[in-house]
Amino acid sequence: MNDITSLYEFVDSAQKSRKYPPSTAHSYKVALRLFDEQLNAEEKKSVELFKENLDQLAQLVFTKNKTRLSAGSLAAYKWRVNKLISDYEKYGTDPAKMNSWSRKIVTRMPKIKTEQNVKQQPNEVSPDDNFSIQQTGNLHKFELALRADKSVKFVVVVPNDITKQEAATITSILNSVSIGD
């Protein structure tokens, strides 16, 4: 079976196997439903044909939903469907591949609430868009874009069981290299 229902079943299976967190599975299904409304009978029967016609379908989805969704949202939906199809092709057709699928865990920092009357300077960086934490095995990888254009990044990889003394050593090193304000 290689039809549109295979994609829905793949999302459910990936969520059940903890390959997709519930929020990711939900967002993939929402995007898939949005595109599903525009599929013709042949495209519903073939994931391959759906993938081939994705750009044309995206135009139809955009035309139908341009008054209620932003162009950015529609681009995100297209990206999600494309990613879902890619994951399905890699892991969804073979149970052994699904079982060996190892996803990186990415944790985003919560948005920092600011007062409405305080304006952000042009070269200040908003931590929610420019900071990520990845956990792999017994390590944490922290990545922070230091500049708004993301041309300069700070990346550090530390063990999960880092001690206060080791963290203090890292802090001392960082304090010693800072130049100016």
Q: How confident is the model at residue 162 (pLDDT cuts 50, 70, 90)?
A: confident
Task: Determine the Cα–Cα distance for residues 32 and 82; give it in Å rounded to an integer.
Answer: 10
Task: Determine the Cα–Cα distance for residues 27 and 83; give it in Å rounded to an integer.
Answer: 12
Average pLDDT over residues 126-131: 57
Residue 10 identity = F
Q: How confident is the model at residue 118 (pLDDT cuts 50, 70, 90)?
A: very low
Average pLDDT over residues 4-32: 91
Output DSSP code: residue 88: I
Q: Say which residue, 99 or 106, is predicted with more confidence.
A: 99
Those residues whose C-beta lies under 8 Å from the C-beta of residue 70, and which sit 6 or more positions away, are: none
160: helix, coil or strand?
coil
pLDDT single digits (tens) 62-89? 888 888 888 888 888 999 999 999 999 9
Question: Domain limits of the chain?
Answer: 4-100, 105-177
